[in-house]
Structure 1
């Protein structure tokens, strides 16, 4: 694999966000401002367009540039967090023109860590992380077991969906949903949905 995988991955994420724009708007309108679908569609489109138009062979630099493009296009809270994830992932892959399956795990772990640090959130607080972390952990286990990337990312996508579903039964700690207190339990978390969609897109890009 090389930087062309990054181009394909971001294209798939952009596509799936566009396909689920209305769904994300609907989910976010219940617990937030209702703009998540627009933000994710616009932000990941900018990241994808940057990567597709770049002749950069350094995968890390490409990801970092895609993150900056997303930050400019979608300067909302969630847009900023997703762009930071891309830039943090870019930092750990800087200097790499060939990518291993382990590099993809490292990229996604750094993506998660960047969001966790900037967002000051923890697992179990009904956020993006509760959908994303199960995907990262499942991917790591599968790659360490020697599975190819297609099989490993497929398992990660299933785990991310399970995490997304589990987040519904959590109590929100951050943002507008937290104001609802115990009433937030049972509400679908739009951030965890974004995480699930990202892993579905990564699985598709890895076939």
Structure 2
């Protein structure tokens, strides 16, 4: 049911709001400190854009959320997340239910959209290092019951995020620190953790 995607986006919006201060504090160390506001405002805009729609095409629904986010938070990270949603929307056109396969497609396409816009790769201390391990787990365990699948993906995202404390930043303001960036956890990867925590929460009902 497409209501499940609306539910997911609502939980994402709520969890980003709950973690706004944490994201701000993390981003103040390696960036300009606006990540918490960007994520809370952006995902709230995405949710509100689809909350009351009668749209029955999953792809069009997700794309509308991404487009709203792009307008609401046109910053670097806002644009990346909006690009993820819009790519997922394109790839899920003409789908009208949320099977395991379509959930996996959603996150796989989300990652692809962010990579295409941001040009970051695994191992470069970004959002990708949080989302990619989770996407790989989703693909490898697609036959599991959805709640178990979401739980495994959430754990993988957190492990990926924790691994960023071993990486040298290649992008953004953190990259100017060079070797000194290695010990820091990446706030972008933490956003991926929150996306998968929201997934786990939303599919439990």
Q: Give TM-score, length-normalised by structure 2.
A: 0.98
Q: What is the match of residue 109 of structure 1?
A: 108
Matches within 5 A, 1:161-180: 161-180=158-177
Gaps of 5+ in 2: none
The 2-side partners of 1:98 and 1:127 are apart by 31
> Does structure 2 retain, via aligned residues, the 8 Å contact 1:7–1:52?
yes
Q: How many residues align?
A: 204
Partner residue, 1:147: 144
What's the counterpart of residue 88 of structure 2? 89
C-alpha distance after superposition, 1:133-179 (max 9, x if no partner): 01111111111xx2111100100000000000001210000010000
Residue 199 of structure 2 corresponds to residue 199 of structure 1? no
In 1, Cα distance between equivalents of 2:192 and 2:165: 14
Local SS of the residue matching 2:158? helix
Residue 13 of structure 2 aligns with which residue?
A: 14
* Counterpart residue number, 1:50: 49
2:41 counterpart of 1:32: no
Equivalent residue of 2:169, what SS? coil
Cα offset, 1:197, TM superposition: 0.5
Structure-1 separation of matches of 2:3 and 2:190: 26
SS, match of residue 160 in structure 1: helix
Tell me which stretches of 4 or more aligned residues in structure 1 moved more than 4 Å: none
> Where does residue 118 of structure 1 map in the other structure?
117
Give the structure 2 partner of residue 186 of structure 1. 183
- The separation in 1 between residues aligned to 2:179 and 2:41, in whole angstroms, is 32
**1:41-72 residue CA offsets vs partner (Å, 9 max, x unmatched):** 00000001111121111110000000000001
- Cα deviation for residue 99 of structure 1 reads 2.2
Whole-angstrom CA distance in 1 between matches of 2:42 and 2:203: 22
| Alignment root-mean-square deviation, CA | 0.7
Answer whether contact 1:6 1:51 (CA < 8 A) is retained: no
3-state SS in 2 of match to 1:172 = coil
User: If the length of structure 1 is used for normalisation, what is the TM-score?
Assistant: 0.97
Q: Offset of 1:80 from its aligned partner?
A: 0.3
Query: Which residue of structure 1 aligns with residue 67 of structure 2?
Result: 68
1:179-207: per-residue Cα shift (whole Å, max 9, x none)?
00000001111000000100000111111
